[in-house]
Amino acid sequence: MSTVKNKGSKIEKQIGSFLRKNGIKYRSHSNILPGKPDFYFRELKTVLFADSCFWHGCRYHGTQPKSNRTFWKKKIARNKKRDGEINRAYKKMDWHVIRVWEHSLKVKDADKKLNAALETLMGK
Protein backbone atom coordinates (compact mmCIF):
# COMPACT_ATOMS: atom_id res chain seq x y z
CA MET A 1 0.00 0.00 0.00
CA SER A 2 3.02 2.26 0.26
CA THR A 3 2.96 2.58 -3.53
CA VAL A 4 -0.55 4.06 -3.51
CA LYS A 5 -0.34 7.76 -4.36
CA ASN A 6 -2.02 10.22 -2.04
CA LYS A 7 -1.46 13.17 -4.37
CA GLY A 8 -1.67 13.68 -8.11
CA SER A 9 -4.09 10.91 -8.98
CA LYS A 10 -5.75 10.81 -12.39
CA ILE A 11 -8.98 12.06 -10.81
CA GLU A 12 -7.21 15.00 -9.16
CA LYS A 13 -5.45 15.92 -12.38
CA GLN A 14 -8.75 15.95 -14.27
CA ILE A 15 -10.41 18.18 -11.67
CA GLY A 16 -7.36 20.47 -11.46
CA SER A 17 -7.34 20.81 -15.23
CA PHE A 18 -11.04 21.72 -15.20
CA LEU A 19 -10.51 24.34 -12.48
CA ARG A 20 -7.56 25.95 -14.28
CA LYS A 21 -9.39 25.91 -17.62
CA ASN A 22 -12.26 27.80 -16.00
CA GLY A 23 -10.03 30.31 -14.23
CA ILE A 24 -10.88 29.02 -10.76
CA LYS A 25 -8.01 29.54 -8.34
CA TYR A 26 -7.44 26.83 -5.79
CA ARG A 27 -4.91 25.44 -3.37
CA SER A 28 -4.33 21.75 -2.79
CA HIS A 29 -3.40 19.28 -0.06
CA SER A 30 -3.49 21.48 3.04
CA ASN A 31 -1.72 19.96 6.02
CA ILE A 32 -3.74 22.21 8.32
CA LEU A 33 -7.29 21.44 7.20
CA PRO A 34 -8.98 18.17 8.29
CA GLY A 35 -8.51 15.28 5.89
CA LYS A 36 -5.92 17.10 3.74
CA PRO A 37 -8.45 18.08 1.07
CA ASP A 38 -7.48 17.55 -2.55
CA PHE A 39 -8.54 21.13 -3.34
CA TYR A 40 -9.57 24.00 -1.14
CA PHE A 41 -10.92 27.49 -1.62
CA ARG A 42 -10.22 29.40 1.58
CA GLU A 43 -12.21 32.52 0.60
CA LEU A 44 -15.28 30.39 -0.10
CA LYS A 45 -14.74 28.21 2.97
CA THR A 46 -15.03 25.20 0.68
CA VAL A 47 -13.07 21.99 0.22
CA LEU A 48 -13.27 19.49 -2.62
CA PHE A 49 -12.37 15.83 -2.27
CA ALA A 50 -11.83 13.59 -5.30
CA ASP A 51 -13.09 10.18 -4.13
CA SER A 52 -12.17 7.04 -6.01
CA CYS A 53 -14.86 4.40 -6.27
CA PHE A 54 -12.57 1.70 -4.84
CA TRP A 55 -10.96 3.51 -1.88
CA HIS A 56 -14.10 5.27 -0.72
CA GLY A 57 -16.50 2.35 -1.21
CA CYS A 58 -18.80 3.63 -3.94
CA ARG A 59 -22.07 1.74 -3.64
CA TYR A 60 -22.36 1.57 -7.44
CA HIS A 61 -18.80 0.91 -8.60
CA GLY A 62 -16.82 -0.08 -5.52
CA THR A 63 -15.24 -3.49 -5.86
CA GLN A 64 -13.82 -5.93 -3.35
CA PRO A 65 -10.55 -7.72 -4.07
CA LYS A 66 -10.88 -11.51 -4.19
CA SER A 67 -8.06 -12.12 -1.69
CA ASN A 68 -7.83 -10.94 1.90
CA ARG A 69 -11.50 -9.89 1.90
CA THR A 70 -11.69 -9.33 5.66
CA PHE A 71 -8.84 -6.81 5.55
CA TRP A 72 -10.30 -4.91 2.59
CA LYS A 73 -13.81 -4.85 4.01
CA LYS A 74 -12.49 -3.27 7.23
CA LYS A 75 -10.21 -0.89 5.32
CA ILE A 76 -12.96 0.44 3.05
CA ALA A 77 -15.42 0.69 5.98
CA ARG A 78 -12.87 2.73 7.93
CA ASN A 79 -12.31 5.03 4.92
CA LYS A 80 -16.07 5.63 4.65
CA LYS A 81 -16.33 6.31 8.38
CA ARG A 82 -13.42 8.77 8.16
CA ASP A 83 -15.12 10.56 5.25
CA GLY A 84 -18.16 11.10 7.46
CA GLU A 85 -16.00 12.34 10.35
CA ILE A 86 -14.26 14.79 8.04
CA ASN A 87 -17.59 16.04 6.65
CA ARG A 88 -18.83 16.66 10.21
CA ALA A 89 -15.60 18.49 11.13
CA TYR A 90 -16.09 20.90 8.23
CA LYS A 91 -19.73 21.39 9.11
CA LYS A 92 -18.65 22.43 12.62
CA MET A 93 -16.17 24.86 11.04
CA ASP A 94 -19.01 26.24 8.87
CA TRP A 95 -17.24 25.13 5.67
CA HIS A 96 -18.76 23.45 2.59
CA VAL A 97 -17.64 20.03 1.36
CA ILE A 98 -17.83 18.88 -2.25
CA ARG A 99 -17.12 15.20 -2.91
CA VAL A 100 -16.61 14.27 -6.55
CA TRP A 101 -16.84 10.57 -7.28
CA GLU A 102 -14.49 8.99 -9.79
CA HIS A 103 -17.41 7.56 -11.79
CA SER A 104 -18.91 11.03 -12.28
CA LEU A 105 -15.77 12.02 -14.20
CA LYS A 106 -16.01 9.10 -16.61
CA VAL A 107 -19.12 10.36 -18.37
CA LYS A 108 -19.03 12.56 -21.44
CA ASP A 109 -20.62 15.53 -19.65
CA ALA A 110 -18.21 15.44 -16.68
CA ASP A 111 -17.36 19.14 -17.10
CA LYS A 112 -21.05 20.04 -16.79
CA LYS A 113 -21.33 18.06 -13.55
CA LEU A 114 -18.25 19.73 -12.10
CA ASN A 115 -19.46 23.12 -13.21
CA ALA A 116 -22.86 22.63 -11.60
CA ALA A 117 -21.31 21.59 -8.29
CA LEU A 118 -18.99 24.59 -8.21
CA GLU A 119 -21.65 27.09 -9.35
CA THR A 120 -23.90 26.03 -6.51
CA LEU A 121 -21.21 26.80 -3.98
CA MET A 122 -20.03 29.98 -5.59
CA GLY A 123 -23.55 31.34 -5.63
CA LYS A 124 -23.76 31.91 -9.39
Taking only the tens place, the pLDDT of each residue in 32-59 is 999 999 999 999 999 999 999 998 998 8
* 64: β partners: none
Give me the percent of the chain exceeding a pLDDT of 70. 91
Lowest mean pLDDT among 51-55, 62-66, 71-75: 62-66
Are the CB atoms for 37 and 26 separated by under 8 Å? no
Q: pTM of the predicted model, to two decimals?
A: 0.85
Are the CB atoms for 55 and 72 separated by under 8 Å? no
Taking the CA atoms of 23, 26, 28 and 34 in sequence, report the sign of the dihedral they define: negative
Are the CB atoms for 44 and 121 separated by under 8 Å? yes
